[in-house]
Amino acid sequence: MITISLCMIVKNEEKVLRRCLDSVADLVEELVIVDTGSTDATKQIAAGYANAKVYDFEWVDDFSAARNFAFSKATQEYIYSADADEVLDEENRERFRLLKEALLPQVEIVQMKYANQLQYGTVYNFDEEYRPKLFRRLRTFTWMEPIHETINVTPVIYDSDIVITHMPETLHADRDFKAFRRMLERGVRLSKRLQNMYAKELFINGEMKDFLQAEDFFEQSARDTERDAEEVKEACLVTAAAARRRGDEEKFFKYAMKVMADGGNAEVCRELGDFYREKQDYEEAAIWYYNACYETEAELAVKVKGRETLERLADCYDQMGLQTEAERYRKAVSYTHLRAHET
């Protein structure tokens, strides 16, 4: 049987921490809890578990630095990386227990299903997806090939059947937007992955102020010759969305058409629909809403193809006096809502 250190970084998690630790504390040998500046009872709650070690870490606007510090304090064979707003139900506690008993030592990373994401507005467009959660602490390296030998650097990964339920008390969007802005203020160049995460966060949870605060960065990124076509396209999309919210029609169409010239997507069609609906040009708005829902793929936020856009499409037909069409799309709204509950 393998041994496991749970590693977690926390700050002001008193509302959810006990729920999380109660679901997993008896399944691991060690709880490594790294606090980044709590002002509530988080540290006291963590310290109440017999196998807990609580450390302080000065926050430096870097989640990876905090997680690396937590990992450095682990002493067991494997590290389970957890967040305070996660829960293992009884069925998945048993799966975790069986995994612990049967895991082959060659496995270096175990992926687990992360569930309940769409309900809480995360930047992930799937309600359930695999994420790496369990890591071998000390990795062994093996030479390969009988001649011109080389080290095998590809980890052995196992996709388990364990499902972790994500149950945050609050959305993290405001925290994330502040973190992105602080990085940009320090002159940090966002990687392709982080730019994509920033764009997704805006289209999933962003308010008008968030788009306006992001506009300069994304407009510069749209002109950045070192960015690839995918990065430029999403930068043009965010720039267009920000310009529409500011009422800058010329800039909106300039960048929206750049997105359309690169194949378009559901997000820019939704933006064009919103533009024409605000102008009370319901016939034109309906065309773009239809394209958002049925003719294009979402690249940043799957929700733009869903209920809200269908409701706006139905409203456009209401405004044009076309009740049969309006009712058709209201039925589509109901069907979409039903499917969301079923999944």
What does the H/E/C string look like for 34-83? EECCCCCCHHHHHHCCCCEEEEECCCCCCHHHHHHHHHHCCCCCEEEECC
Same domain, 159 and 229: no
Nearest to 111 by CA among 156, 77, 152: 156
What is the largest distance, in Å, between two alpha-carbon atoms of the chain?
77
CA 332 to chain centre: 27
Encoded tokens for 205: 């949870």
Same domain, 190 and 162: no
Residue 174, pLDDT score: 86
Same domain, 207 and 78: no
pLDDT beyond 80 at 299: yes
Same domain, 53 and 111: yes
Of the three residues 111, 133, 166, the one that is the final residue of a domain is: 166
pLDDT beyond 90 at 340: no
Q: Per-residue confidence at 119, pLDDT binned at 50, 70, 90?
A: low
Residue 151, pLDDT score: 79
Q: For residue 75, what are the domain limits?
A: 4-166
Residue 173, pLDDT score: 82
Cα separation, 297 vs 304, whole angstroms: 10
Residue 336, pLDDT score: 58
Tell me the backbone φ, ψ of residue 162, rounded to 5 degrees.
-75, 135
Q: Per-residue confidence at 239, pLDDT binned at 50, 70, 90?
A: very high
Same domain, 245 and 296: yes
Tally of domains in the chain: 2
Same domain, 154 and 200: no
Residue 245, pLDDT score: 97
What single-letter amino acid sits at 155? P
Q: What is the dihedral of CA 247, 250, 251, 257, to 10 degrees?
A: 120
pLDDT beyond 70 at 13: yes
Same domain, 76 and 186: no
Of the three residues 166, 189, 210, the one that is the final residue of a domain is: 166
pLDDT beyond 90 at 118: no
CATH number for the domain including 309? 1.25.40.10
Cα separation, 76 vs 16, whole angstroms: 25
Tell me the backbone φ, ψ of residue 258, rounded to 5 degrees.
-65, -40
Same domain, 94 and 68: yes
Nearest to 242 by CA among 271, 262, 264, 285: 271
pLDDT beyond 80 at 125: no
pLDDT beyond 70 at 229: yes
pTM metric for this prediction: 0.79
**Beta-bridge mates of residue 128:** 115
% of the chain with per-residue pLDDT over 90:
80
Which residue would you say has higher pLDDT here, 301 or 173?
301
Same domain, 144 and 177: no
Same domain, 101 and 188: no
Cα separation, 287 vs 276, whole angstroms: 10
- Residue ranges in 149-301 assigned as alpha helix (H): 173-185, 192-205, 208-222, 229-246, 249-261, 266-278, 282-290
Tell me the backbone φ, ψ of residue 288, rounded to 5 degrees.
-75, -35
Predicted confidence (pLDDT) per residue in 28-39, tens digit: 999 999 999 999
Q: Count of CB atoms within 10 A of residue 325's CB?
A: 16
Specify the 3-state DSSP secondary structure of 132.
Answer: strand
Cα separation, 296 vs 277, whole angstroms: 19
pLDDT beyond 50 at 342: no
Cα separation, 235 vs 224, whole angstroms: 10
Average pLDDT, stretch 283-291? 98
pLDDT beyond 50 at 262: yes
Residue 193, pLDDT score: 93
Same domain, 153 and 212: no
Same domain, 9 and 112: yes
